[in-house]
């Protein structure tokens, strides 16, 4: 039996929980207390973080992509990435977009809606110290709330970008609403990595939090998709073949590329410069400093997180399996490819991005 540690209000935990359910893997879904997070989890994976998975042989996995890659290895069927090169490229594009770009929406709405902040104080408190009196829970909840809301400036969420984040979120949900008029999941009639990844911030924050649930009032098909993904009823269905990807899915891919692509391109340039200036360094720092960025055309400033580049390398790897086919498909639709050009390959372990 595998042990999955994550809260309902943690988006990355929603991603792995939905994935493990869909794959029908035998797992115990556990809510880690503060003692567990600060004790065993910090000791085993190096930081207080969720989700984590404890394997029956005593090893621990962290990072949703590492967790999913591991289980795709031990239980490949049904696979969560399509077989065709374009389908694979899109699966990793949607994953990177959801993991590295959608925190803008998730964190913005969570920490600016008073109704949600009150809800989260309760959720964090009950998560840290279940059943304890409020006077003991609240200080722990507040400390964790301060830590999490401290990510707003890291991600560039402020008055300069707020309207852009709201516009980007609305556009994404509209594209999804249109797509789900004809299709059950993002990449066909069965869920892929794209669905689990998008579900994380959409269920874990935007729909689950009371202050942002109104975003779904006019998007009922997205609500139905949330239910299908989070409570899977079977694993039948098909992915779109590469030659039958519908316009509504192409539109989602173009949108994710428009938003995420420039951030990855600029990060890549900063990392290339840093590697050149730091020859012999075994790993990249977590951040390469501040950088300008744009969300839905609104300019802001954020930290350049090298982890995002490791995630983008997954998209590049998918493209490099069949670059000619992927590039031809993208260029026919006017979508630029997301690529990572660095002199060294990136590896993620022990919470750092290493230069192979
Ligand atoms: N990229 C990681 C991110 C995990 C993550 O950031 N989890 C959040 C909760 S949803 C967390 O524990 N954050 C604590 C922190 O960063 O200090 C993944 O895919 O697992």
So where are the chain's domains?
A: 2-74, 108-154
Kindly report, residue by residue over 167-189, the tens digit of the pLDDT: 999 999 999 999 999 999 999 99
For the CA of 204, the closest atom of ligand 1 is 10
193 Cα: distance to centroid of ligand 1 (angstroms): 18
Q: Please give the Cα distance from 287 to 303 (Å, whole number).
A: 6
Within the chain, strands assigned E span 2-5, 27-30, 52-54, 60-62, 283-284, 287-295, 298-305, 346-349, 352-355
Task: Give me 107's structure tokens.
Answer: 């964190």
Euclidean distance between CA atoms 61 and 204, whole angstroms = 20
Q: Which of 186, 225, 182, 183 is nearest to 202 (CA)?
A: 225
Largest CA distance in the chain: 61
Pocket-testing residue among 13, 33, 50, ligand 1, by greatest number of atoms within 8 A of Cβ: 50
Tell which residue, 155, 157, 99, 148, has the closest CA to residue 121. Answer: 148
Does residue 49 line the site of ligand 1, with CB under 6 A?
yes
What's the pTM value of the predicted model, to 2 decimals?
A: 0.98
Task: For 138-174, give one letter per residue: b (16+ CB within 10 A) or e.
Answer: bebbeebbeeebeebeebbbeeebbebbbebbeebbe
- Answer yes or no: is the C-beta of 6 below 6 A from any ligand 1 atom: no
CATH number of 2-74: 3.40.30.10
What is the Cα–Cα distance from 85 to 68, expressed in whole angstroms? 19
Alpha carbon distance 146, 141 (integer Å): 9
Residue 268 exposure: Cα atoms within 13 Å on the Cβ side: 18
Distance 243 CA to ligand 1 centre (A): 36
pLDDT reading at 235 higher than 70: no
Give phi and psi for 303, each to the nearest 5.
Answer: -85, 145
The angle that helices 85-96 and 193-201 make with each other, rounded to 10 degrees, is: 10
From the alpha carbon of 200, which atom of ligand 1 is closest?
Answer: 10
- How confident is the model over 334-347, as pLDDT tens digits? 999 998 999 999 99
Could you read off the pLDDT of 63-113 as tens digits, one per residue? 999 999 999 999 999 999 999 999 999 999 999 999 999 999 999 999 999
Residues in the chain: 356
281-290: per-residue pLDDT in tens?
999 999 999 9
């Amino acid at each position: 039996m595998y042990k999955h540690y994550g809260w309902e209000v943690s988006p990355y935990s929603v991603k792995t929980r939905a994935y493990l359910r869909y794959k029908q893997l035998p797992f115990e879904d556990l809510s880690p207390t503060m003692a567990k997070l600060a004790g065993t989890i910090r000791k085993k994976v190096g930081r207080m973080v969720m989700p984590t998975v404890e394997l029956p042989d005593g090893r621990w996995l962290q990072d949703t992509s590492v967790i999913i890659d591991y289980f795709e290895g031990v239980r490949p069927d049904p696979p969560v990435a399509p077989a065709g090169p374009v389908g694979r490229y899109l699966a990793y594009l949607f994953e990177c977009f959801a993991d590295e770009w959608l925190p803008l929406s998730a964190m913005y709405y969570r920490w600016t809606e008073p109704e949600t902040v009150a809800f989260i104080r309760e959720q964090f408190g009950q998560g840290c110290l279940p059943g304890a009196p409020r006077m003991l829970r609240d200080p722990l909840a507040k400390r964790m709330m301060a830590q999490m809301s401290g990510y707003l400036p890291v991600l560039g969420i402020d008055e300069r970008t707020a309207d852009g984040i709201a516009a980007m979120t609305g556009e994404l949900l509209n594209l999804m609403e249109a797509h789900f008029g004809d299709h059950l999941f993002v990449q066909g009639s069965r869920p892929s990595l794209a669905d689990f990844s998008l579900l994380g911030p959409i269920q874990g924050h935007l729909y689950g939090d009371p202050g942002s649930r109104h975003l779904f009032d006019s998007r009922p098909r997205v609500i139905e998709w949330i239910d299908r993904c989070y409570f899977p009823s079977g694993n039948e269905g098909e992915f779109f073949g590469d030659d039958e990807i519908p316009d509504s899915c192409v539109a989602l891919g173009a949108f994710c590329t428009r938003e995420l692509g420039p951030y990855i391109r600029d990060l890549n340039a900063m990392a290339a410069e840093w590697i050149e200036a730091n020859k012999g360094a075994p790993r990249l720092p977590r951040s390469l400093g501040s950088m300008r960025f744009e969300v839905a055309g609104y300019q802001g400033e954020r930290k350049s997180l090298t982890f995002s580049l490791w995630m983008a390398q997954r998209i590049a790897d998918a493209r490099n399996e069949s670059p000619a086919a992927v590039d031809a498909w993208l260029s026919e639709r006017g979508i630029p490819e997301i690529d990572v050009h660095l002199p060294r390959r990136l590896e993620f372990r022990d919470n750092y991005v290493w230069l192979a």
